[in-house]
Structure 1
């Protein structure tokens, strides 16, 4: 995509967001229960520009964990289509099936992917080898072994099985919910240092920035462009090991639940730097790049009524250690609690009251920083 087109697309998007107060790409569409999920409600040109805008390099992400998903009626409470247009990544989270999607869920997901350009990923705990995929005898060989020669074949088969299920279901990637501190009992993959390292290594052949590398061994080719996210205990708790190949991971999703100020967010980002210190020292990741890949999220299961720290997160720019870098995105756990939750209207509508404010904040900051950067470049060239 040429720079001129990117700038034109950004202008369309950001004018809609900032000057129209979320009246375009951040608004919730007026949809009734008789709407046809195969039909669009705006012009083809609008959606083409929206999809192109979401492909902008280094664009901050709006990420949501979406549960209560039926797709049976296109309302904001239980359909992906009802989310604001500017949501860039939505993850299937919750008690409903993650694979073998119903026709209604499948149609709902395909609509937002093809029409809105929204990436839809699946969140899984994957606390033990073989979780959530069809059984294979080789999975049982891993047990709680720490011998790489024993563990690698089982985890290699497991990672490929996850990839196959994810591609077959139609998702755009995988979000590993890694929380060993909250699950100590019999969760061997979470709690075994060797197993979890090899798991990330094997996943990186199928998802994220390393999936198209040529040193695949006997692994089949991977579909390009599938996202790789890790959320949970990054920079806190049991942490991640410093030898995980995190430079292959697209986004580090921090459960920064309840963070009320920039100092709290600074501390979380500094924790991520600590986990990535090996790759910073080796030059495989810069601190600026780490911030660009970091998404901070709030828990709306607990904080929906007042928004918790979400609006602070959406305005957040890391300013320490000689760095001034906007966060890579903001997000919400159980975003459905923000749909028509009774806290008032934003821009004349109660739907997704805090989410839409956060979207405005995130892209206003992005737009302002982009303009400053372009002005500085112009001055240097004069």
Structure 2
């Protein structure tokens, strides 16, 4: 009996030692996690950059969340923007110089040919922020009460704003500006630039440094009420972007374009859907009835649609980043780009 107890104790002791050893072996230890990105060839990227430079319908989107610093150890919005997106408008502002997101943005610009633009509401607060306290050769300048002081004084302020924007874009290694112009829609304080003649003066001043008349590669984009721009000033735009949210058929798209048809070439016209709404990012937008193809998501309808006057400039989405949660990610964006510009098989 004593021998049996000794044998039992021996088994218990051995089991305890074994359990202790297993517990020690199974303690979690922090290990570096490799970030998994599909490596692509330089030939792929060269072809992608060539595609971006070719004559094609572009994909434009307002991406939020990129203004944060980002983190190499985390999943970042900027890491997953689809390769074939042409222009990213940085909703919420650009990332700080030297941050992970800024360095990634520069790599995407170089490697993929994607262009990034800053977006601003061009209201009174914007003018004050950009123009006030700026120094001219002889004095300081303020936009306060400029509406009654004549065009000469106003142009001084517009020049200050334009050169400040140019310097900011260049210093932050961006590709241009996107002005959100909604003086009669959003209820914001547009003040001075509600006057269409004064707004034309502002756009013409900007077009010395941005857009096709500037002799530079800097983009000049206006979204919202772009049709309030005069024909003379409109010639300086790179693109006009229509917030065609909730579109259900081609008639409304055509009527939107017709508001500026006298001066806006079709290839500069972009229509966009709202992906901040669940029906956008989850379903590709509300049901859209195409007269030939039938019912489809509105983003697809926009992709198939062209003005009767000619081929449009492209399509896009507001808060494009919301669609990343889909499975597969950016399913509507990727499919819409294929409709715009089918891949050669």
Q: Could you say whether these structures have the same fold, taking a TM-score greater than 0.5 normalized by the shorter chain as the test?
A: yes
**Deviations 1:147-203 (Å, cap 9, x if unpaired)?**
212211011111111111111111001111101013555422332334312110111
**Displacement, 1:34?**
4.0
Q: Does 1:125 align with 2:100?
A: no
Structure 2 stretches of 5 or more lacking a match? 1-31, 135-139, 286-297
Q: Does 1:262 align with 2:250?
A: yes
**Displacement, 1:73?**
4.5
TM-score, normalised relative to structure 2 = 0.77
Q: Cα distance 1:256–1:33, how it changes in 2: closer, same or farther (>3 A)?
A: farther
**Displacement, 1:93?**
0.7
In 2: Cα distance, 1:254 partner to 1:75 partner: 37
Q: Does 1:291 align with 2:288?
A: no
SS of alignment partner, residue 242 of structure 2: strand
**Displacement, 1:106?**
1.2
In 1: Cα distance, 2:141 partner to 2:237 partner: 26
In 1: Cα distance, 2:225 partner to 2:74 partner: 30
Q: Does the aligned pair in 2 maintain the 1:119–1:172 contact within 8 Å?
A: yes
User: Which among 307, 330, 342 is matched to residue 352 of structure 1?
Assistant: 330
Q: Does the aligned pair in 2 maintain the 1:172–1:226 contact within 8 Å?
A: yes
Matched with 2:90 is 92
Matched with 2:158 is 155
Q: What pairs with 1:197-276 in structure 2 (closer than 5 Å)?
A: 197-212=200-215, 224-235=216-227, 240-273=228-261
Q: Does 1:361 align with 2:342?
A: no
In 2: Cα distance, 1:199 partner to 1:43 partner: 44
Q: Does the aligned pair in 2 maintain the 1:159–1:203 contact within 8 Å?
A: yes
Quick check: which has more Rg, 1 or 2? 2
Q: What pairs with 1:1-382 in structure 2 (closer than 5 Å)?
A: 34-35=34-35, 41-56=39-54, 58-69=55-66, 70=68, 72-73=70-71, 78-94=76-92, 97-98=93-94, 100-101=96-97, 103-128=99-124, 129-131=127-129, 135-136=133-134, 137-140=140-143, 143-145=146-148, 147-184=150-187, 186-212=189-215, 224-235=216-227, 240-273=228-261, 277=262, 279=263, 290-302=265-277, 303-308=280-285, 309-319=298-308, 323=309, 325-341=310-326, 345=327, 350-364=328-342
SS of alignment partner, residue 90 of structure 1: strand
In 2: Cα distance, 1:76 partner to 1:148 partner: 51
Q: Does the aligned pair in 1 maintain the 2:35–2:73 contact within 8 Å?
A: no
Q: Does the aligned pair in 1 maintain the 2:49–2:112 contact within 8 Å?
A: yes
Q: Cα distance 1:233–1:185, how it changes in 2: closer, same or farther (>3 A)?
A: closer
Structure with greater strand percent: 2
Q: Does the aligned pair in 1 maintain the 2:158–2:205 contact within 8 Å?
A: yes
Q: Cα distance 1:354–1:146, how it changes in 2: closer, same or farther (>3 A)?
A: farther
**Displacement, 1:41?**
2.1
**Displacement, 1:246?**
1.0
**Deviations 1:51-97 (Å, cap 9, x if unpaired)?**
112111x3111001010223624799743331111001111112xx4
Matched with 1:373 is none
**Displacement, 1:297?**
0.3
SS of alignment partner, residue 361 of structure 1: helix
Q: How many residues align?
A: 292
SS of alignment partner, residue 142 of structure 2: helix
RMSD: 2.8
Matched with 2:24 is none
SS of alignment partner, residue 205 of structure 1: coil
**Displacement, 1:207?**
0.5
SS of alignment partner, residue 166 of structure 2: helix
